[in-house]
Structure 1
Amino acid sequence: MRHLKYSILALAVIFATACKESKKEAQETVEAEVEKTVKETPTKKELKMTLDPKSGSNATGTITFVEENGVVSMTAYLSGLDKGEHAIHIHESADCSSPDGKSTGGHWNPTAQPHGKWGSETGYHKGDIGNFTVGEDGKGEVKFSTSEWCLGCEDDTKNIIGKAIIVHQGTDDFTSQPSGAAGSRISCGAIIE
């Protein structure tokens, strides 16, 4: 009888241990799957901002930045501009406090390249977005996507948070240094979270 009690006790211990190990393995498998899903699920960040008039203009607008799968897409809707082409750039500082927009500093150029057209083999600033066309109604639209920007990442050569968008009165000639001779800064918006 005594041997029977010990045998039953031993079986109970073995059963409890086996259940505990099985539960632990199941939990580890679930945790691994959750971690895998988190890594595989694309992260999406979105930031919306407004542009305010500068230099006595009526130029305003809204801009949305969306970062997904390592690509930032910018969509800008602008109004109150003169018909024709205008330049748009990212500038160094999110400070739009001055009436002429110059408190934003120069073009954002973290890689110390010459000013130029985006993608040029001779170089370009990370803030050199380019030109866009405004119609008779004073409205324009800009769509731009790049993997060379990010929203709040650790890479200072990609992170556009803390910078500003500037719309210029004139056209960027892509050659004049350091800013393309694009004229007055007529609209400004801070890229902040």
Structure 2
Amino acid sequence: MKKIFIIATLCVVLVGCKETVKQTDTNNETEVVPAEKSITATALISAKSNSAVSGTVTFTENNGIVIMNANLSGLTPGPHAIHIHENGDCSADDASSAGGHWNPTKEDHGAWEHKAFHKGDIGNLVADENGIATITKETDLWCISCEDETKNIVGKSIVVHKDIDDMKSQPSGNAGDRIGCGEIALENK
């Protein structure tokens, strides 16, 4: 039994097997248990409202935590609102097909994790003098392709706005035109 445990442990440590090893104390037996797998969804941002915006927003979930990384270009220098919207449809020239902010819990619009806020209220990102902006967000309030519709972001869209989100105007922070949009889709592995 010790040989199996040692071999399985070496497999995990040296070659990154997709399983973890669990040794039970009662019978000194070894059990191989599937490891927690990460899952990824991506939104490819396309220009809307005659803008030049493009980029990628990637969501990775691991152990119940979703990390969002947005990398955008073609923006005017300065702050721009970024939100999750309720529909994964970016077909309209002005991205109106994406619907309103994703708000499954029916809260008022606001700043992320401050009193009332939509689960789609990501906030603002700031473009540099070259029109490039990045933002990272980490949360357990979202999930990727889970059964909880108050957390599942797949099938929604990411919308980038022309102006800053003031974090208080209802229902969407007075963020202006929608200048970029991309559907959040599960990546096929």
Q: 1:162 to 1:32 in 2, by over 3 A?
A: farther
Match of 2:123 in 1: 130
* 2:149 matches 1:156: yes
AA aligned opposite 1:48: T
Counterparts of 1:177-188 in structure 2 under 5 Å? 177-188=170-181
Aligned-residue sequence identity (percent) comes to: 51
Match of 1:192 in 2: 185
* 2:26 matches 1:33: no
* 2:89 matches 1:98: no
Tell me the CA shift for residue 49 of structure 1: 2.9
Match of 1:67 in 2: 61
Deviation string, structure 1 residues 76-100 (Cα, Å, up to 9, x no partner): 1100000000000000000000000
Counterparts of 1:162-173 in structure 2 under 5 Å? 162-173=155-166
Tell me the CA shift for residue 115 of structure 1: 0.2
Give distance in 1, aligned partners of 2:60 and 2:134: 16
Give distance in 1, aligned partners of 2:31 and 2:151: 31
AA aligned opposite 2:31: E
* 2:112 matches 1:118: yes
Q: Alignment partner of 1:128: what SS?
A: coil
Gaps of 5+ in 1: 1-28
* 2:51 matches 1:57: yes
How many aligned residue pairs are there? Answer: 160
AA aligned opposite 2:134: E
Deviation string, structure 1 residues 86-139 (Cα, Å, up to 9, x no partner): 000000000000000010000000000000000112x00000000011110010
Tell me the CA shift for residue 71 of structure 1: 0.5
Match of 1:77 in 2: 71
Tell me the CA shift for residue 191 of structure 1: 0.6
Give distance in 2, aligned partners of 1:184 and 1:49: 19
Give distance in 2, aligned partners of 1:176 and 1:90: 17
Kindly indicate whether the alpha-carbon contact (under 8 Å) linking 2:43 and 2:158 is maintained by their aligned counterparts in 1. Answer: no
| Structure whose residues are more often strand by fraction | 2
Q: 1:32 to 1:112 in 2, by over 3 A?
A: farther
Normalising to structure 2: TM-score of the pair?
0.81
RMSD: 1.6
Normalising to structure 1: TM-score of the pair?
0.80
Larger radius of gyration: 1
Match of 1:175 in 2: 168
Tell me the CA shift for residue 48 of structure 1: 2.8
Tell me the CA shift for residue 32 of structure 1: 8.3
Q: Alignment partner of 2:31: what SS?
A: helix
